[in-house]
Amino acid sequence: MASRPSTRVVADLPLTPPTGMRDHLPEAARVRASLASRLLGLFQRYGYERVMTPAFEYADVLERGLELDRRDVLRFVEPETGEVALLRPDITPQIARIVATRLSDRPAPWRLCYHGTMLRRRRGRARKSRALSQAGVECVGFGGLGADLEVIGLAAEACALVGLPGVRVELGQVGLGRLLLAEVPEAARAPVAEALASKDAHALEARLREAKVPARQRRRVLGLVDLYGERPVLGRARRRYKDAESRAALDELARVWDGLAERGLEPQLGVDLGELRGHAYYTGVSFALLAEGPGEPLGGGGRYDRLLGRFGRPAPATGFGLDVGHVLWALEAAGRPWRPSRPLRLAELGAPAELVAGLRDAGVEVAALPESVGDRALGFARAWGYDGVLGAGELRRASDGKRRALEDGVGGVLALRDWLAEAHAPKGAKG
């Protein structure tokens, strides 16, 4: 009875968080935090400085960067000012605002990184509202090929670093799609773009016919629907779209492809010229990171050269974000679940204060137990994932309760680390 969580709660009080919101209990939280910190560490080694941005902002600010469907964001009236605010569905526009306003006196380029929660709702979908934990970078004020290669290369390196070396990097070029959509009457653009994004040739043709788009333009738009795959797609696209603007967009993409190939990334590259979704602020080469598991991209990014201008300080920019939850899911699917490097963890009952302090200084996690715990210390250690119980003059192993006498202070405890871990190892495993 006593060990059971109480289920006697007021029946009409919802104790679970709203749909899509999630708790992460200690073990899961440790895994997520460790993965995110590994990612941020890599970003920082490339000079991306971490920033933190507010959980909600005035709708007017965020909507400058996003062409959002108003039903997809969580909006409320901020009582101080009476202005409409929204819980951030994306961090990139916030960083654009920071660069354009508060960091504008520092010299370019601005390299910033972040890790935070974003909220998105998706009506009617199988996956509805979700809180995404996203880690990413934004590289502002550094235009052209160099920045594209740095950012896409960094995204691939981040995936490889955490155990997904073969992640597929699917390049896109929103420029081409935009050019072609501009040839469609404005009223029909949204349904045409939707059909194109779904690669739904049948619906696309129907929408174009309904909008009375002339046959030539119709063929041009329909031509995008199957332009995805490997490098030859770029050649096919060049033969299909010969006007100067389309050519320029395709050349830009080809240069990025070749640059990434030079860095040895070619086996991971793919291209999809019909990909337009979720790309409201992108202006050039974009990319998505694909791996088995979550059934949707792990993350992605691209060039957004016009966003900073909307905050009053035009500058070229590119960046990407990774969904931490999806990366964990993909690692699981690949049979390489993320295991955070874990310090030695001890529960303590009656050990000398000096020893405890020394262990903490040495990086050991030591949780002091109240005396009343008494005989139940071992049970506590097991339930909370401690390696052992540190008592007065002895250390008990959590897994099987075996005792070792303690000598030599901190060094003596640390020397027992392998003995503590021994019983965790699967039978027959060595080392």
Partner 1 sequence: MPEETLVVAVPKGRVLEQLVPRFERVGFDVGVLTKKSRKLIREDAKRGLRFLLLKPDDVPTYVEYGAADLGVVGRDVLLEREYDLYAPLDLGIGRCRLAVAGLSDVAYPPPPGKTLRVATKFPNVATRHFQAKGQPVEMIFVQGSVELAPLTGLADVIVDIVETGETLRQNGLAVLEDIHEVSSVLVANRVGLKLKRERIAPLLEALREE
Among positions 295, 343, 385, 409, the unique one binding partner 1 when judged by CB under 8 A: 295
Min dist CB 203 to partner 1, Å, is 7
Gap between the Cα atoms of 64 and 100, Å rounded: 13
Q: Which is nearer to partner 1, 125 or 430 (CB)?
A: 125
CB atoms within 10 A of CB 372: 6
Judged by beta carbon, residue 54 or residue 229, the one nearer partner 1 is 229
Ramachandran area for residue 180 (φ above 0: left; ψ -120 to 50: alpha; else beta) = alpha
- Quick check: 235 binds partner 1 (CB under 8 A)? no
**From CA 164, how far away is CA 241, in angstroms rounded?**
35
Cα end-to-end distance, the chain, whole Å: 40
For partner 1, the binding residue among 168, 207, 218, 220 (CB under 8 A) is: 168
Q: Which residues contact 288 (CB under 8 A, 6 or more apart)?
A: 169, 170, 172, 272, 275, 297, 299, 300
Identity of the residue, 108 or 201, whose beta carbon is nearer to partner 1 in the bound complex: 201
**Which of 93, 136, 177, 297 forms a contact with partner 1 (CB under 8 A)?**
297
DSSP 79-105: TTTTEEEEE-S-SHHHHHHHHHHTTTT
Question: Helices (DSSP H) in 120-268: which residue ranges?
Answer: 144-162, 174-181, 186-197, 201-210, 215-222, 232-240, 244-262
Residue number, 153 or 293, with CB nearest to partner 1: 293
Smaller CB distance to partner 1: residue 132 or 351? Answer: 132
122 part of the interface to partner 1, by CB under 8 A: yes
Burial class of residue 358, CB neighbours in 10 A (0-12, 13-18, 19+): middle
239 lies in the site for partner 1, by CB under 8 A: no
Pair 139, 146: CB distance under 8 Å: no
Q: Provide the minimum distance between the beta carbon of 404 and partner 1 in the complex, in angstroms, as a whole number.
A: 48
Q: Does 388 bind partner 1 (CB under 8 A)?
A: no
Q: Which of 256, 258, 43 is nearest to 149 (CA)?
A: 256
E strand spans, 281-383: 285-290, 299-303, 317-323, 345-348, 365-368
**Binding status of residue 300 toward partner 1 by CB under 8 A:** no
CB of 350 to partner 1, least distance (A): 51
Kindly state the DSSP code that residue 282 receives in the 8-state scheme. Answer: -
Instruction: Give 17 or 295: the residue with its C-beta nearer to partner 1.
Output: 295
Interacting span for partner 1 (CB under 8 A) from 102-110, 193-201, 372-380, 401-409 = 193-201
CA distance 364 to 410: 10
Q: Which stretch binds partner 1 (CB under 8 A): 132-140, 199-207, 254-262, 417-425?
A: 199-207
CB 279 within 8 A of CB 67: no
**Number of residues counted as binding partner 1 (CB under 8 A):** 27
Q: Is residue 108 a contact residue for partner 1 (CB under 8 A)?
A: no
Piece in contact with partner 1 (CB under 8 A), picked from 23-31, 101-109, 153-161, 198-206: 198-206
Residue 42 or 322 having the CB closest to partner 1: 322
3-state helix, strand, coil in the chain (%, to 5): 40, 20, 40
Nearer to partner 1, 112 or 327 (CB): 327
- For 226, the 3-state DSSP assignment is coil
Closer residue to partner 1 in complex, CB, 24/277:
277
**How many Cα atoms sit within 13 Å of 345 on the Cβ side?**
16
228 near partner 1, rule: CB under 8 A? yes
Position 229 contacts partner 1 (CB under 8 A):
yes
124 counts as binding partner 1 under rule CB under 8 A: yes
- Going by the DSSP 8-state scheme, the letter that residue 23 receives in this structure is -
Smaller CB separation from partner 1, 49 or 292: 292
Pick the closest to residue 140 from 100, 88, 172 (CA basis): 100
Options 40-48, 120-128, 213-221, 259-267: segment touching partner 1 (CB under 8 A): 120-128
CB of 374 to partner 1, least distance (A): 48
Q: Is 198 in the site for partner 1 (CB under 8 A)?
A: yes
Residues in 255-294 at the binding interface with partner 1, rule: CB under 8 A: 270, 272, 277, 290-294
Closer to partner 1 by CB, 326 or 397: give it.
Answer: 326
Minimum CB separation from partner 1 for residue 173, in Å? 16
210 near partner 1, judged by CB under 8 A: no
Q: Report DSSP letters for 201-223, one per residue.
A: HHHHHHHHHHTT--HHHHHHHHT
Q: Where does this chain bind partner 1 (CB under 8 A)?
A: 122-127, 168, 170, 198-203, 228-229, 270, 272, 277, 290-297
